[in-house]
Amino acid sequence: MYAVIMAGGEGTRFWPKSRSKRPKQLLNIVDSDTMIQATVRRLKGLVDWDHILVVTTEHQRDALLEQLPLLSPENLIVEPKGKNTAPCIGLAATLLHKKDPDDVMLVLPADHRIEDDQVFQKTLRAAAQLAKNENGLVTIGINPTYPATGYGYIQHQQLVANIDGIEAYNVKTFAEKPDIQTAKRFLQSGDFFWNSGIFIWKISKILQEIEDSLPELSTGLNRISKALGSEKEKDVIQKVYCQIKSISIDYGVMEHSRNVFVVKGDFGWNDVGSWEEVYKISPKDKHGNAVAGDAVLLDSKNSYIETNNLMIAGIGLEDMIVIQTPDALLICPRERAQEVRDLVDLMKRKKLDQFL
Query: Would you say 88 or 337 has its CB closer to a copy of itself?
Result: 337
Q: Which residues contact 260 (CB under 8 A, 6 or more apart)?
A: 136, 137, 138, 139, 170, 171, 254
Q: Does 21 bind a copy of itself (CB under 8 A)?
A: no
Q: Does 242 bind a copy of itself (CB under 8 A)?
A: no
Instruction: Write down how long the chain is.
Output: 356
CA-closest candidate to residue 204, choices 99, 120, 113: 99
Q: Which stretch binds a copy of itself (CB under 8 A): 113-121, 185-193, 195-203, 341-349?
A: 341-349
CA-closest candidate to residue 140, choices 149, 202, 148, 131: 131
Going across the sheet that includes 290-292, the strands are 290-292, 304-306, 320-324
**Applying CB under 8 A, which of residues 8, 16, 87, 265 lies at the interface with a copy of itself?**
16
Name the pairing type of β-strands 153-163 and 269-270: unpaired
**Applying CB under 8 A, which of residues 146, 315, 351, 353 lies at the interface with a copy of itself?**
315
Query: Would you say 120 or 275 has its CB closer to a copy of itself?
Result: 275
Q: Does 273 bind a copy of itself (CB under 8 A)?
A: no
Q: Does 8 bind a copy of itself (CB under 8 A)?
A: no
Tell the smallest beta-carbon distance from residue 342 to a copy of itself (Å): 6
CA-closest candidate to residue 207, choices 329, 344, 355, 96: 96
Q: Does 343 bind a copy of itself (CB under 8 A)?
A: yes
Please tell me the number of Cα atoms within 13 Å of 17 on its side-chain side: 22
Q: Does 346 bind a copy of itself (CB under 8 A)?
A: yes
Query: Would you say 211 or 319 has its CB closer to a copy of itself?
Result: 319
* Angle between helices 85-97 and 203-213 in degrees, nearest 10: 130
Query: Would you say 180 or 331 has its CB closer to a copy of itself?
Result: 331
Query: Would you say 141 or 314 has its CB closer to a copy of itself?
Result: 314
Query: Would you say 231 or 353 has its CB closer to a copy of itself?
Result: 353
Q: Does 342 bind a copy of itself (CB under 8 A)?
A: yes
Q: Which residues contact 267 (CB under 8 A, 6 or more apart)?
A: 114, 115, 116, 117, 119, 120, 123
Q: Does 298 bind a copy of itself (CB under 8 A)?
A: yes
Binding site for a copy of itself (CB under 8 A): 15-16, 296, 298-299, 309-317, 320, 322, 324, 327-333, 336, 339-340, 342-343, 346-347, 350, 352, 355
